[in-house]
Amino acid sequence: MTIDFQHWPAGLAGQYRANGYWIDQPLTRILKDQCRLRPSAPAILCGERSVSYGELDQLSSNLAARLALQGLGPGDTALVQLPNLAEFYIVFFALLKAGIAPVNALFSHRQHELTSYVQQIRPKLLIASRQHELFKTDTFIGGLQETLEQPLRVLLLDEDAPETSLSLWIGRTPEGTVPDHGPTDAGDVAFFQLSGGSTGTPKLIPRTHNDYDYSVRASAEICGLTPETRFLCALPCGHNFPLSSPGALGVFHAGGCVVLSPSPEPLTCFELIRKHRVTMTGLVPSAVNLWLQTAPAHPGALDSLKLLQVGGAHFPESHARQVPDVLGCKLQQVFGMAEGLVNYTRLDDPDEIVFTTQGRPISPADEIKIVGEDGKPVTDGEAGRLATRGPYTFRGYYQSPDHNADVFDEDGFYFSGDLVTRTTDGYLRVVGRVKDQINRGGEKIAAEEVESLLLLHPDVREAALVAIQDPSLGEKSCAVIVTADAGLKPVALRRHLMALGVADYKLPDRFSFTDAIPLTAFGKPDKKKLRAELAQTFSLAP
Ligand code: J2J
């Protein structure tokens, strides 16, 4: 059994293999290699725990074997929601070993997001934590089970019942003969990555072993990772950036060590960096701003830190320039996407490139097109829509033919929705966005998703979600609402969204009530005009 997804055309796939980008090995080879080379070296530091490569291999094999004994294997999917703990990687490798393809939901996701993922992948397995509000009781799980045709096996962290305790399943090697079906073929889906999205439902991105492994190997090389690398994972560990750019998988590939932090909060991270002599980390710009403000009061705290990667959202040049002086480390800008393409400034690039661009693609095989409003390529330096295809850029969202028709051209180039310019040396600058998305400190909010939830409120006639500038997060969201009820209050709408179980970061930061939403010549909400109007309103606000 395999999971259906949009493959690369045979010609390109042949080239990717011939050039050594695709090596036809499962992602589990990352762990296998390190178990051979350095089984007792620490792979993960998590609180007081240190997990060696040998242990990571053993624990993930325990879980994989138990899942196989339950009859789970290739073709099956899992919904996983774990916080930044060692179990995230144990589970990730276990599922790869067993050939089960997970969706790794963010810990901030609530029933709206999880239900949508379940509807799309129809999982046979749920792995989550009792610490999450949804799993404090079994009510939500029971509801999910009712929507599925087959039994949902559930494993929970911090669970007392032995039959559903993730820790027990991980901790003991099962007895008896274990069927060994997995991992899936290297050309098949290894797992699903989450799209930041611009549509009503969050879309899933099938990632194959071949494509993901290439991005990890190449990223590790670009970022100069070695067995001495100590990487602080402070962003949500399932996100594409801290997982693969080069992220934890890149660090494992190089034989280094991942230090887990529950969040990017500066004091927590500074303490971990000091304690574990962390050499590198990756942050979103809003977190870097906090670090820049906090670091001067903690001289020496970041002594071991050599490289700070910044990506996920616009990073102002004025902040970029402060990084080496204030934080005492090298800056690397990263412009990536869960759909594939990742750009890095290189470690030996001149300062001007590092401070003023978002890097260039990983691979010589990454094909980039930048097109103007007429659909024709722009000249270098001119802004246009970014389109790309390549050995680790996906070819279609999972089960989304209509949306795929909108975001891919006939040659298989994916339009990311970013507006970029390119220097003559091939470096990209992100200058804007055409997708209907708010980038709230690196967390992506699909406007349409929140708008359709707002429209479920009986007093909301029209709703438009737009970005407003924010000094700390870069952007926040404002919902512009047309209502017949003059007494409708933001608190009522916020409660309405919370009752629908949407993740907190998607709750509009502001509400603005109006008589009519301005329309473009095509009759669509004129968000550009709305943004300009709101900028005025909020800059005048006390
Ligand atoms: C401006 N916008 C950026 C940047 C991403 C590495 C790093 C980041 C992501 C990521 C990732 C940006 N400047 N430096 O997956 O592997 C915006 C763009 C892009 C979208 C993708 C990785 N870096 N962005 O952020 O899938 O709009 O991936 O299309 O979450 O974030 O978001 P996401």
pLDDT of residue 541: 55
What is d(CA 498, CA 504) in angstroms, rounded to the nearest whole number? 8
Question: Of all atoms in ligand 1, which is nearest to the CA of residue 430?
Answer: 1
Side chain identity at residue 227, one-letter code: P
Chain segment 235-271, per-residue pLDDT in tens: 999 999 999 999 999 999 999 999 999 999 999 999 9
Model pTM above 0.80: yes
Chain segment 348-384, per-residue pLDDT in tens: 999 999 999 999 999 999 999 999 999 999 999 999 9
Average pLDDT value for the chain: 96
pLDDT top residue among 165 and 176: 165
Cβ–Cβ under 8 Å, residues 534 and 478: yes
Chain segment 418-457, per-residue pLDDT in tens: 999 999 999 999 999 999 999 999 999 999 999 999 999 9
Residue ranges with strand state E in 131-283: 153-157, 189-194, 204-208, 230-233, 257-260, 280-283
What is d(CA 325, CA 267) in angstroms, rounded to the nearest whole number? 19
pLDDT of residue 540: 58
pLDDT of residue 538: 77
Q: Nearest to residue 103, comparing CAs of 130, 129, 76, 85?
A: 76
Strand partners, 204: 194
**Ligand 1 probe mutation, 335, 339, 341, most atoms within 8 A of CB:** 335
Residue ranges around ligand 1 (CB below 6 Å): 196, 240-241, 244-245, 311-314, 333-338, 342, 358, 416, 418, 430, 433, 439, 444
Q: What is the ipTM of this complex?
A: 1.00
Walk me through the domains of the chain, giving residue ranges and CATH numbers: 28-182 (3.40.50.980), 212-433 (3.40.50.12780), 439-540 (3.30.300.30)
- Tell how far the Cα of 468 is from the centroid of ligand 1, in angstroms: 19
- Tell how far the Cα of 446 is from the centroid of ligand 1, in angstroms: 14
pLDDT of residue 198: 81
Question: Of all atoms in ligand 1, which is nearest to the CA of residue 386?
Answer: 29
Work out the average pLDDT over 10-15: 98
Q: DSSP assignment, residue 174?
A: P
Instruction: Say which residue the tokens 């997990």 belong to.
Output: 51
